[in-house]
Amino acid sequence: MEWYEKSSFYHIYPLGYCGALEPNDFTSEPVSRILSVLDDIPRIRDLGFNAVYFGPVFESSRHGYDTADYTRIDRRLGTNSDFKKVCDALHKNGIRVIIDGVFNHVGRDFWAFKDVRANRWESKYKDWFHLRDGRSPYDDNFWYEGWEGHFDLVKLNLYNGDVKQYIKDCITGWFQEFGIDGLRLDVAYCLDLNFLKELHGHCKWLRNDFWLMGETLHGDYNRWMNPDMLDSVTNYECYKGLYSSFNDMNMFEIAHSLNRQFGKDSWCLYRGKLLYSFVDNHDVSRIATMLKNKEHLNPIYSLLFTMPGAPAVYYGSEYGWEGDKKSGDDALRVKFEKSEATDLTKHIAKLAEFRTESEALALGDYKQLELHNHDYAFKREYNGDIVVSMINAGEAHTFNVNIGDEFEDILSGEKFDLSQGVPVEAHSSRVFKKV
């Protein structure tokens, strides 16, 4: 079993987490804000997370996805030495480190593109980008392709051998300097599939268990997630189903998606694959804002951690923080302020700890047991290890799943024979393991 199959991920957007979202002036001395993560490692560990996914950490113009230099940590966060200290401390605490690989595009301040801006067709880097005659929206004396029409994000030419080698050299440098355990590939749905194959070969050469996860939205995830490319992709299909099933009091929606993806008669053939599951992230409104009924925070996290997939929690959301995408991305990327433990953090900690222990949640199959508009139960099973999850979005309900044997509720410690009716309180959940 690979390490990522039993991992729960804590998602940090560093520039926001560290309160460093002001524009980069590229002249200031580094400010070691990233070291604040060191003080937070005990809390992350106690929450049960054994992997941290850092959003962009490298020098950029503003938000991290407009990279200026892949080889140095953003001066607003600190130095390479600072980030190495953080990575080393996480590893000493048994926590893996994943970072963002932003390879589809760079910022206008990227060193090679600055050379193109200065020298135009005489630049030796002109073929690193998609250039044409004309004028750009920034009044450059040439036209270039931007990511999805965003001309502050300059699309790289991933058919160019020098570009691909440069990226692979950078990854090797990150692996050697920081000891990273994997990459999350930004907008993987835009990346050339042959480039993904090359990237796969290079990263698995660095280490067999180097994890590659890609950002995808919709479509057949097998296109990107297969033995030759990525180990995992973002499960945006279930992201929508998770919150709208609770808001519409229609658990059929998420049940349909999970059955479509992982059920016995699934036509997606995702069975045995590990999609990256989440209820919010740096690009979408926080789940506490999305849910109409805040009492649903407890059961939605129970569902997230027990459904097939690798669960991820976005920093601050474990406290029920709110943030509305309508107010702009910065509203989702606020500075982290440590808070006292709450019922929700304790709930998530139990789920994360159990996710690390359970083979059924890591590798088990999926079977729907009971489904109504407000109520949903399913089973995960692997080599005799059985987990039964009961999600109740409505009023108090008694589940009848008819599984004979003794089980323990990992949330309350109570023992039950699941061949009998099991009461679940309103807006609540139970997660059982076979004793």
Domain identity same for 229 and 346: yes
Q: What is the CATH number of the domain that holds 380?
A: 2.60.40.1180
Q: Which domain holds residue 321?
A: 3-104+160-363
Domain identity same for 324 and 251: yes
Domain identity same for 353 and 429: no
The size of the chain, in residues, is: 435
The CA distance from 176 to 293, in Å, is: 46
Q: What is the CATH number of the domain that holds 273?
A: 3.20.20.80
Domain identity same for 149 and 249: no
Q: To 10 degrees, the CA torsion angle through 123, 128, 131, 136?
A: -80
Domain identity same for 67 and 41: yes
List, in sequence order, every residue forming a beta bridge with 48; answer none if it has no partner: none
Q: To 10 degrees, the CA torsion angle through 240, 246, 249, 252?
A: 50
Q: Which residue type sits at 289?
A: T
Paired tokens of 383:
């080599």
Q: How many structural domains does the chain have?
A: 3
Sign of torsion over alpha carbons 264, 355, 384, 386:
negative
The CA distance from 265 to 76, in Å, is: 50
pLDDT value of residue 267: 61
Domain identity same for 29 and 123: no
Domain identity same for 235 and 308: yes
Domain identity same for 130 and 170: no
Gap between the terminal Cα atoms of the chain = 22
| pLDDT values of the chain reduced to their tens digit, one per residue, 435 residues | 899 999 999 999 999 999 999 999 999 999 999 999 999 999 999 999 999 999 999 999 999 999 999 999 999 999 999 999 999 999 999 999 999 999 999 999 999 999 999 999 999 999 999 999 999 999 999 999 999 989 999 999 999 999 999 999 999 999 999 999 999 999 999 999 999 999 999 999 999 999 999 999 988 999 999 999 999 999 999 999 999 999 999 999 999 999 999 987 666 678 889 999 999 999 999 999 999 999 999 999 999 999 999 999 999 999 999 999 999 999 999 999 988 999 999 999 999 999 999 999 999 999 999 999 999 999 999 999 999 999 999 999 999 999 988 999 999 999 999 999 999 999 999 999 999
3-state class (DSSP) for residue 111: helix
Express each pLDDT in 9-62 by its tens digit: 999 999 999 999 999 999 999 999 999 999 999 999 999 999 999 999 999 999
Domain identity same for 116 and 265: no
Residue that terminates a domain, selected from 363, 378, 395: 363
Express each pLDDT in 96-154 by its tens digit: 999 999 999 999 999 999 999 999 999 999 999 999 999 999 999 999 999 998 999 99
pLDDT value of residue 269: 74
Domain identity same for 331 and 390: no
Residue that terminates a domain, selected from 319, 344, 363: 363
Domain identity same for 84 and 197: yes
Q: Give pairs for 29-33: CB < 8 Å, separation 24+.
A: 29/75, 30/73, 30/75, 30/76, 30/77, 30/78, 30/79, 30/82, 31/75, 31/76, 31/77, 31/78, 32/77, 32/78, 32/79, 32/82, 33/76, 33/77, 33/78
Domain identity same for 193 and 73: yes
